[in-house]
């Protein structure tokens, strides 16, 4: 399909609450998901949400095998998640560094719940649910935030832990 350009922070579309996907297993939805994968792969991302390529619909993809952007991260299965629902299963949170294709070159520390259940549909309309922890849970929260118009810098509590990746992590 195609590598699409990624909207950057400041674009008002990234602040919108995205609408639900209402039709599954359609050429349009398969094309959207294919473009999201092509774009994420080209930019070495861990995940991407449809609004980031300009489509205000509740669809995200994510997956990490061995990602050079996240060298210490545990693997996360390649997933298409549409119309997601998240249920937080713990009060416990953990601070961790995040980046985002819409905030290129930056990293910031965000506190996220460490244990949750998510459910939703794949691109064929098949329902699924998973209970996950740690980095997998972080990725899901980050991507699903995009569907509600939330970018990770809006969740940083200590702005001293926000900066340019090249300066923060010169060895990477
Ligand atoms: Ni992001």
Dump pLDDT digits (tens) for 4-24: 999 999 999 999 999 999 999
d(CA 46, ligand 1 centre) in Å: 9
CATH of the domain at 22: 3.90.45.10
Tell me the Cα Rg of the chain: 15
Give the bridge partners for 130, in sequence order. 118
What residues sit around ligand 1, an ion, with C-beta below 5 angstroms? 100
Q: Does 101 fall in a domain? A: yes
Q: Does 5 fall in a domain? A: no
d(CA 126, ligand 1 centre) in Å: 25
Q: Does 84 fall in a domain? A: yes
- Out of 65, 74, 98, 143, pick the active-site residue: 143
Asked if the model's pLDDT at residue 67 lies above 70, the reply is no
d(CA 48, ligand 1 centre) in Å: 6
Provide the whole-model pTM.
0.95
d(CA 7, ligand 1 centre) in Å: 10
Report the number of distinct structural domains present in the chain.
1
What percent of the chain clears pLDDT 70, i.e. is strictly above it?
97
Task: Write the CB contacts of 33 (distance below 8 Å, at least 6 apart in sequence).
Answer: 59, 61, 80, 123
Q: Does 29 fall in a domain? A: yes
pLDDT at site 149: 98
pLDDT at site 22: 98
Give the bridge partners for 49, in sequence order. 60
Q: Does 90 fall in a domain? A: yes
Q: Does 3 fall in a domain? A: no
Q: Does 119 fall in a domain? A: yes
Decide if 131 is catalytic. Answer: no
Q: Could you list the residue range(s) of the whole structural domain that residue 89 is in?
A: 12-168
Q: Does 77 fall in a domain? A: yes
Bridge-based pairing of strands 106-113 and 162-164 is antiparallel
d(CA 54, ligand 1 centre) in Å: 13
At 3, is the pLDDT very low, low, confident or very high (cuts 50, 70, 90)?
very high
What is the rounded distance in angstroms from the CA atom of residue 18 to the CA atom of residue 110? Answer: 22
Average per-residue pLDDT for the chain: 95
The torsion angles phi and psi of 81, rounded to 5 degrees, stand at -130, 115
What percent of the chain clears pLDDT 90, i.e. is strictly above it?
91
Please report, for residues 1, 8, 45, 84, 116, the alpha-carbon distance to residue 154 in angstroms, rounded to integers and kept in the order given: 32, 14, 20, 21, 21
pLDDT at site 69: 62
């Amino acid at each position: 399909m195609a590598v699409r350009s990624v909207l950057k922070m400041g674009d008002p579309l990234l602040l919108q609450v995205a609408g639900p996907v209402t039709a599954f297993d359609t050429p349009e939805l398969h094309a959207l998901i294919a473009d999201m994968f092509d774009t994420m792969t080209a930019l070495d991302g861990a995940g991407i949400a449809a609004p980031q390529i300009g489509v205000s619909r509740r669809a995200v993809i994510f997956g990490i095998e061995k990602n050079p952007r996240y060298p210490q991260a545990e693997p996360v299965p390649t997933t298409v998640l549409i119309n997601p629902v998240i249920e937080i299963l713990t009060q416990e949170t953990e601070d961790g560094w995040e980046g985002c294709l819409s905030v290129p070159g930056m990293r910031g520390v965000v506190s996220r719940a460490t244990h949750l259940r998510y459910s939703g549909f794949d691109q064929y309309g098949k329902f699924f649910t998973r209970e996950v922890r740690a980095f997998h849970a972080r990725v899901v929260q980050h991507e699903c935030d995009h569907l509600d118009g939330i970018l990770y810098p809006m969740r940083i509590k200590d702005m001293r832990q926000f900066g340019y990746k090249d300066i923060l992590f010169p060895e990477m």
